[in-house]
Amino acid sequence: MLVVVTGPARSGKSRIATELAFSCGKPVVVVAGGQESDPEMARRIAHHQAERPVEWRTLEVEEATGWMGDVDAGECVVVECLGTLVARMMGGLCWDDPDHVSEQAETMLGMKADLLVEELYNREGDTIVISNEVGWSVVPETPSGRLFRDVLGRATARLVDSADAAWLAVAGRCIELTGYPRSVTWDDVNGDSE
């Protein structure tokens, strides 16, 4: 089963995913892509770890893809989070110069994100993916920031399309996305035309 929990920063995504994983009754592996790049980020990571049950295993990944072989199909995987994995993919493509993003970098990042989405979709076993809704704020100032926003938005939408269940976390509340349509027609807006 593939479950996606998405939403803006500090919306309750991690808490919701933790409750879901805890209630599934299987051994849990948290796939973490975040790096302790500074003291504040180290505190964030430590806070997330402190909120999880001690028996949960953490798999710190350096690459966004290729880690599926390190988890068993009988384990529930919690990906914390898709945004950090997309940021990992960007390393070497365009972080060296955030003011310039080549067309080749855009193409490569899109292909890498597509591969990750396919791996998550095809994984045997229960998988909970946390993702950020980063497009709700100001437009990023740099080309690399805009590329990150766009690639993460597309990857999240593809995962939600493929998921068995999906929730949007807003202000600590859950809105189920699974039953909502992907598109609307004029009749949906205007009501029955007869």
SS3 state at 174: strand
Q: Is the separation of the CB atoms in 77 and 71 below 8 Å?
A: yes
Q: Is the separation of the CB atoms in 112 and 142 below 8 Å?
A: no
131 strand-pairing partners: 6
Q: Is the separation of the CB atoms in 114 and 159 below 8 Å?
A: no
194 strand-pairing partners: none
DSSP 15-80: HHHHHHHHHH-S-EEEEE-----SHHHHHHHHHHHHHS-TTSEEEE-SSSSS-GGGS-TTSEEEEE
SS3 state at 84: helix
Active site residue 48: yes
7 strand-pairing partners: 132
Please identify which of the residues 26, 48, 146, 154 carries the catalytic annotation: 48
Indicate which residues carry an active-site annotation.
48
